[in-house]
Structure 1
């Protein structure tokens, strides 16, 4: 059951002329799984998001723009989320972007960035060789160490080894999340990604929901008329919190009902 204060805040969004609803994927719409490529949104959340994303008549109000804002690279995000073409997408924590009007924004690395990425990949490849269950995910501007399939001790040791291997390397930006460590050569975060979504959508009010420490950058950009929803425990700058992914489904169903009356 959603808190009364959250329900009231959602109902207050009914008449907003243009609302942007941006959502993290893993841990918000979809449960964490051992193999990232197997992740899928909870059916109820996927259905609610699809209804919310349905475009209305041209010029009609209220308007709702939907977006996914993820640490996944765009190819992976499209594979697991299967979003409609009109949904805005931000991947790799803001480094990759898609809008229906312009398509994918090209991401080109300099020769120096390519060299740094190769070095970071080699360092993390050595880590995966040393710990059973550790694996790498390759992105256009980074490489990610996943330790979800490691034992607890091995996972902690792998992350510690990765930090030590990358620490202090100029031009490599390390971001940590739940059982992952990413080394990127393009410095962006979800706050930058959410600012882009706000700008290209033209929405005056934003809803953002996320679960991980990387989502805090996005929460920090929200204004007094926006709504931030944290999923799960941990410190957060979001105004509201729910405990489970089923709560996210309930939240999206409520939001859909008030926006599509």
Structure 2
């Protein structure tokens, strides 16, 4: 079974999250791998349908063309499979965060932007709200200043804060990529697993690989922004381009699956 994060792993990190798109080479490799391995799953904090939409490749195969693909979105709260999305209703705390986060950011002296100008960007994920500082004049300083106030708001609304690459995401607690991946491995009775990620949220998936007891490989899509993941990975590659090259090499090396 092959599991992958989306942003920073299959798609390059970009200033505006809405501009993220899967690397065509990665999509093409996954289309091949879908017929060679037991299962392919994308485990992401994005809404599942968004990952599929941003996984389209003009003139070529996209993520929706991967045989048997499952997308576990919102850290496993949503599931895309066979063109259908299933999910529980969003918790009420998300609605409060959606309403109060803009004023909170502004009260701290930061400019909100829709991505066209420098500033802090709010991404509404439906069941979570992500606060991005990548476009701020001082991204790291802005992230530090927002961390405590956003953690307080999350605590008041019964949500958890998930840190990432210049982003703080307020989302329902109790679900992470480790839980999502572990449950999927059990569901599919996987016999081996490879998981690739790029960010701190992927550490839980790395741990799920270890705890599964299966033959497993963890892959870090390396960046200068996050170094801890590389220290915990079995294999380190150079960003999404490196992930695409690894997936292509796997597709070249694996034999066809025997008919059942």
Give me the TM-score of the superposition, normalised by structure 1.
0.79
1:23 maps onto 2:14 in alignment: no
Contact 1:124 1:162 (C-alpha < 8 Å) held by counterparts: no
Q: Which residue of 1 aligns with 2:126?
A: 140
Higher relative contact order (CA 8 A, sep 6+): 1
The unaligned stretches of length 5 or more in structure 2 are 57-62, 112-118
Q: Which residue of 2 aligns with 1:231?
A: 221
Pairwise CA distance, 1:186: 4.4
1:84 maps onto 2:71 in alignment: no
Contact 2:49 2:80 (C-alpha < 8 Å) held by counterparts: no
Q: Which residue of 2 aligns with 1:119?
A: 96
CA distance in 1, matches of 2:145, 2:134: 11
CA distance in 2, matches of 1:260, 1:40: 29
Q: Which residue of 2 aligns with 1:8?
A: none
Q: Which residue of 1 aligns with 2:240?
A: 245
CA distance in 2, matches of 1:186, 1:95: 11
Contact 2:47 2:73 (C-alpha < 8 Å) held by counterparts: yes
> For 2:87, which of 91, 103, 106 is the aligned residue?
106
CA distance in 1, matches of 2:105, 2:79: 29
Q: Decide whether aligned partners of structure 1 residues 161 and 127 sit closer, same or farther in structure 2, where only a CA change above 3 A counts.
A: farther
Contact 2:40 2:70 (C-alpha < 8 Å) held by counterparts: yes
1:166 maps onto 2:153 in alignment: yes
When the two structures are aligned, how many residues end up with a matched partner? 230
Q: Which residue of 2 aligns with 1:64?
A: 38
> For 2:162, which of 175, 183, 186 is the aligned residue?
175
Pairwise CA distance, 1:234: 1.5
Contact 1:30 1:42 (C-alpha < 8 Å) held by counterparts: yes
Contact 1:209 1:230 (C-alpha < 8 Å) held by counterparts: yes
CA distance in 2, matches of 1:96, 1:175: 17
Pairwise CA distance, 1:98: 2.6
Deviations 1:65-100 (A, max 9, x none): 111111111132121013226311111112112333
